[in-house]
Amino acid sequence: MKNLFAGIFLCLISLSAFPKDGYELWLDYAPISNQGLNQEISSLLDGIYFFGKNPTYQAIQNELNLSGKKLVGKAPVYTTDRLSNTKLWLGTREEMSQIFGLQQQVEIRELGEDGFWRGSIDFQGKRYYAIVGNRPLGVLYGVFDWLRSIQTETFDAKQEKADAPKVKLRMLNHWDNLDRTVERGYAGFSIWDWHRLPGYIDPRYEDYARANASLGINAVSLTNVNANARILTTDFMKKAKVLADLFRPYGIKVFLTARFSAPIEIGGLKTADPLDPDVKAFWKRKTEEMYSFIPDFGGFLVKANSEGQPGPHEYGRNHAEGANMLADALAPHGGVLIWRAFVYSHEIDEDRHKQANTEFEPLDGKFRENVIIQVKNGAIDFQPREPFHPLFGAMPQTNLGMEFQITQEYLGQATQLVYLAPMWQEVLESKTYRPSPSSTVAGIVDGKDTGKTLTLMAGVSNIGTDRNWTGHLMAQSNWYAFGRMAWNPNLTSEQIAKEWTSMTFGQNQVANRKINEILLQSHEAAVNYMTPLGLHHIMGRSHHYGPGPWVEGGRADWTSLYYHRADSLGIGFDRTSTGSNALNQYAPEIAQKWSDPNQIPQKFLLWFHHLPWDFELKSGRTVWEEIALHYDQGVKTARNMKTAWDSLEGTIDPERHSHVSQLLGIQVEEAEWWRNACLLYFQTFAKRPFPEEIEKPTGSLEYYKSLSFPMAPGIRPQW
Ligand code: GCW
C-alpha cells in the first residue's frame, strides 16, 4: 500500500513538474525513484533532533524542508525529544559529547573547523543516524554531503563518512561593477542590486548562499578587481552588511576589492603612498568602520599596478610595501589581504609570461602573515590551456593562492559548453619540483607541500541575473566543479562530472553516461578548435569572442601577433634560452625537458618554441599538418557533442534539452568559424596545402577578418 502511494506521488510530481529553467541548479532534489532509498530517507526525516539552536541550524532546517518535500514528498518532522521518535541527530561534537566514546570524539575533533562526520550510532539499544561537525557549519556541510549522497543514490547508512576541506579559503571572486555590469560576465547583470540595497533583499541572495554552502564555498569577494573606491564609503558598507548578515549562517565571509588610490578618491588625500602616515591612518579608519558593520569581514582583494590599476609603484614602493600596509590595517580584526600576482606593464619590454615572477620572486618572505598572493593558473591569462604559473613553487615563504576563471572569457563565453574541470585538474596535478621534488601545484595550494595554513582557491564567478544563473545551463557544472575542487583539489573531473550530472538531471544512467562523455571531451575540443599545440591569445580584440589571429597594432602584448609569431619560416613563441627564456623560471627538471621540442608535451609545444612549419613531430607529421588536424578534430568533436546531446531528446525535460541543443548548434558553427579563420590565416604564412584527411576550411579570410562584434557581452569598461 505504502509503495502504491509512493508510486502515485512520483507520477504526480513528474507530471505536474514546472518547466525546468535551471534555477534550482544542482539542488533540484528530483524525487527519489529507488523505492528502498525513498523509504529509508522518508523514515529518517520522520524524526529529526537538533542538539542546539543557532542560525546555521535554521538554515539546515530550511534546506531539509525544501529537499524533503521534493525528494520524498513530505515535510520533515522535528522532535524535541532526543531519544524517543528520533531517527536523525544533528549537532556539534561538543553538543553530542555524551553519546560518543573518547576515541570518536578525538577523531571528529581532528577534522578541524569545517569538517564533518556522518554515520549510524547505536545508543542505549537504539540506532540513530548522526551528522556531526565541530561547529554548526560542519553540520551544514555534512547535511549537504548527505543530501548529495541521496541525490546521487549512493547513500548507505552502514557506511561512515568523515571529510574536511583541504583549503582554508574557498572563494568566489565576482568581477561585478557597482552599476551591475559584470566584467567578463555572460549571464546577464550582477546579482548584487546595490541600488535597492539595503532596503530590498532579493530572494536570490539566499539561494546563492545555499548553492555555495552546498559546495563548501566559504568566501566571496563581491566587487570587481578593477575596483571602484565608492564601495568603501559608508553607504555601500551598509549595503554590503546586509549581504554579510544573510551569508553568515551559511558560513560565507564577505570580502571587498580595495582600490589602491581610494585615499585620494574618497579620503581627500593627495597621495596613496603606502608609507605615508595619513594614508595608513585612512586605511586603518576605513577598516575599523568596515568591521563595525561586518564584524567577521573577510578582508580586501587588490589588483594593483596591472592593466592601468593604481598601486604602490606610483610612489616607488613595491608590492610588499603596498600589501603589508593594508594587511596591517586588517590584522587587528583577523582580516586577510589578498594581493593579485596578475601584473604586467607594457612599459616594460619583457615577455609578459615573465613579469609576475620578476616582480614577486624577490619579495618572497617579505609579506605579512595575513597576506595571500593570488596567482592565476597560468602566466598569461586564463587561456584555453596554459602550463602552470611558474610562481607556484617559486615563493616558498609566501602564502600563495590559486585563481581560476570560472567565467569563460576565453573558453566560449556563454555560447559554448566547455566543462573546465579537466583543465583545472591538469594544472593542479602538475609537478612543480619545488619546494620539494614531489611537489605539485595542488600541494602548494592546499599547503601540503609548504606547511602553510592560510590557503586559498579563488574562482572568478560566472554568475549573473539570467534565470539559470550562468547563461549556459551546462556552465553550472563549472561553478559546481570549482567549489568541489576548492574543497578537495585532488578530486577528479570525472568524479565531479558524475555527481553534477545526476544531481542536475536525475538518475537515468544511460543519459548520464552520455552527458558525462560530452562534458569530459568538451575542454579538449575547445582547445583544438581554438588554440591547439600551445597557441594562445589569438582571440578577437578586447571582447575575446571568436578568432582573431590577425589582431595587430597598438599595445604589443594585447595583439595576437605578439603571441603566435607566425612568419614564413614557422610559428610559436620562443621562450627557451634562445628567446625570452621564460622557461628558466620553472624548476630545472622542467626547464631542461621542455627546452627540447622533442621532449616537451605536445600540448605546450608552441607556447615555448618557435618551430619551422615542416618540423617533424613524434606523429611523423609536420607542425603545419598537426595544427590543421587539431583544428579539424576540434570541429568534429563539437559536432559529435551535439549529436550525442540531440539523441537524448525525450529523455531530458524538453526545456533544458532544447536550451542546450540550440547552444550546441551555435557551438558547432563557432568551432567551424575558429577552424576556418585560423587555418586560412596561418596558411598565408605556411603556404602549404591542407592535409588530405581534413575537411577543407570554407569562406574567405577577408570575410572572417571583416566580422566585428562591438556589442559582445562582458567587455571591460574603460575607466
Ligand atoms: O583576463 C583579463 C581580463 C580583464 C581582467 C583581467 C584581470 C578584471 O581580460 O577583464 O580584469 O584579466 O584578471 O585582472
Residues 454 and 401 sit within 8 Å (Cβ to Cβ): no
pLDDT digits (tens, 9 = 90+) for 194-224: 999 999 999 999 999 999 999 999 999 999 9
Residues 305 and 416 in one domain: yes
* pLDDT at position 17: 54
How far is the C-alpha of 209 from the C-alpha of 212, rounded, in Å? 5
Q: Do residues 329 and 443 share a domain? A: yes
Q: Is the CB of 227 under 6 A from ligand 1?
A: no
Ligand 1 pocket test: pick from 175, 404, 537 the residue with the most ligand atoms within 8 Å of its Cβ: 175
CA nearest 548: which of 556, 538, 558, 557? 538
Which residue numbers in the chain have pLDDT < 70?
Answer: 1-17, 716-719
Q: Which atom of ligand 1 is nearest to 544's Cα?
A: 9
Q: Is residue 535 part of a domain?
A: yes
Three-state SS for 624? helix
Looking at the fold, whether 83 and 106 belong to one and the same domain comes out as yes
Annotated catalytic, 307? yes
28 is catalytic: no
- Is 565's C-beta closer than 6 angstroms to any atom of ligand 1? no
| CATH, residue 184 | 3.20.20.80
Residue nearest atom 1 in ligand 1 by C-alpha distance = 381
Distance from C-alpha of 24 to C-alpha of 469, rounded to nearest angstrom: 9
Q: Are residues 205 and 260 in the same domain?
A: yes
Q: Is 488 within the bounds of a domain?
A: yes
Domain for residue 4, yes or no? no
Ligand 1 centroid, distance to 475 Cα (angstroms): 19
- Determine the residue of 183, 302, 543 to mutate for testing ligand 1's pocket, defined as the one with the most ligand atoms within 8 A of the Cβ atom: 183
The CATH number of residue 621's host domain is 3.90.1330.10
* pLDDT at 367 (0 to 100): 98
Here the CATH number for the domain that contains residue 51 is 3.30.379.10
**Pair (128, 195) in one structural domain:** no
383 lies in the same domain as 491: yes
Pair (143, 263) in one structural domain: no
Q: Using the atom order of ligand 1, give the atom closest to the CA of residue 306.
A: 14
1 belongs to a structural domain: no
- The domain of 650 spans 527-573+610-706
Give the nearest ligand 1 atom to 183 CA: 10
Q: Nearest 5°: phi and psi at 452?
A: -75, 145
On whether both 260 and 123 belong to a single domain, the answer is: no
Ligand 1 centre to CA of 345 (Å) is: 13
Q: Is 280 within the bounds of a domain?
A: yes
Q: Is the CB of 176 under 6 A from ligand 1?
A: no
Residue where one domain finishes, among candidates 471, 505, 539: 505
Does residue 203 share a domain with residue 69?
Answer: no
CB 480 within 8 A of CB 170: no
Q: Do 100 and 128 share a domain, yes or no?
A: yes
As a whole number of angstroms, the distance between CA 37 and CA 25 comes to 23
Write down the pLDDT at residue 582: 98
Number of domains in the chain: 3
**Exposure of 122 by Cβ count < 10 A (0-12 exposed, 13-18 middle, 19+ buried)?**
exposed
Query: Taking the mean position of all CA atoms in its chain, how far away is CA 639?
Result: 27
Contact 334, 168 (CB under 8 A): no
**Overall pTM > 0.75:** yes
β 570-571/219-221 pair status: unpaired
Cβ–Cβ under 8 Å, residues 572 and 562: no
Q: Looking at residue 345, what is its pLDDT?
A: 81
Q: Which of 137, 163, 189 is the last residue of a domain?
A: 163
DSSP-derived 3-state class of residue 208: helix
- Asked if residue 198 has a cis previous peptide bond (ω within 30° of 0), the answer is yes
What is the rounded CA–CA span in Å between residue 398 and residue 338?
12
What is the C-alpha to C-alpha distance for residues 400 and 452, in angstroms, rounded to an integer? Answer: 9
How far is ligand 1, taken at its centre, from the CA of residue 187, in Å?
17
Asked whether residue 249 is domain-assigned, the answer is yes
pLDDT reported for residue 605: 98
d(CA 589, CA 592): 6
The position carrying cell 556541510 is 141
- Indicate the residue among 451, 475, 505 that finishes a domain: 505
Domain assignment present for 388: yes
Read off the pLDDT of residues 292-305 as tens digits, 9 standing for 90 and up.
999 999 999 999 99
Which cell goes with 569? 619560416
In a domain, 7, yes or no: no
349 catalytic per annotation? no
Cis bond upstream, residue 435 (ω within 30):
yes
Identity of the amino acid at 426: E
User: What span, in angstroms and rounded, lies between the C-alpha atoms of 238 and 253?
Assistant: 15
Gap between the Cα atoms of 12 and 16, Å rounded:
6
337 plus 462 within the same structural domain: yes
Shared domain check, 185 and 142: no
Instruction: Assess whether the C-beta atom of 226 lies below 6 angstroms from ligand 1.
Output: yes
How confident is the model at residue 4, as a pLDDT?
Answer: 47
Q: Which cell is 144 given?
A: 549537504
